[in-house]
Amino acid sequence: MGFNVSDFSQSICNYGDNKIFASRMKTPIGEMLTLETHQGICLLEFSDRIGLDREVNAILQKTKGRLIAKENHFSHQLLKELDAYFEDASSRFKVSLELIGSEFQKLVWNELTTFPVGITHTYSQVAEMIGKPKAARAVGHANARNPIAIVIPCHRLIGASGNLTGYGGGIWRKEWMLKHEKEPGISDRK
């Protein structure tokens, strides 16, 4: 799907000359915005996410980048892999990522990528897994700042009570993906 930078937001700024390629893609659960550097995907978010323009600006500032409305190599690969995921949740993501965040955030995000499809964990469990058993709240904050939805499966984190907790893309999407992942090989497309 085409992307027009001027249509996205008047509040997007350019911070340097590094090219950050932006494109949109349709999924069964909504349109998504993707950003990529020459290293890999650095953002995959639902286009209707509140605060998306701030998230894009933060990435542009950290990368000293400027937004270019163009699909590029990694976005083509990501689109194929997302299509495969929505057909069969057990498919794996292999697209290169460029994680832009603190070392702690990257530690949490990398741990999330190890979660098997269809399995959920609590924030406390992830804190234990990364060797920081008292950092459940910090894990929650890192999870909330995950810039690469679905590929880094932050939707697989749940509250200690077993309840679904907040999700930037909306609880209904989290619920949809968890249901989709419980039935590998079965398409949820209509």
Comparing CA positions, the residue from 153, 120, 124, 150 lying closest to residue 138 is 124
Amino acid residing at 52: L
Comparing CA positions, the residue from 149, 141, 105, 107 lying closest to residue 123 is 141
Residue 185 falls in which region: left (phi positive, over 0), alpha (psi -120 to 50) or beta = left
CB of 20 closer than 8 Å to CB of 60: yes
Pick the catalytic residue from 79, 154, 177, 178.
Answer: 154
Does the annotation count 13 as an active-site position? no
How far, rounded to the nearest angstrom, does the alpha carbon of residue 21 sit from its chain's CA centroid?
16
For the annotated catalytic residues, the residue numbers are 154
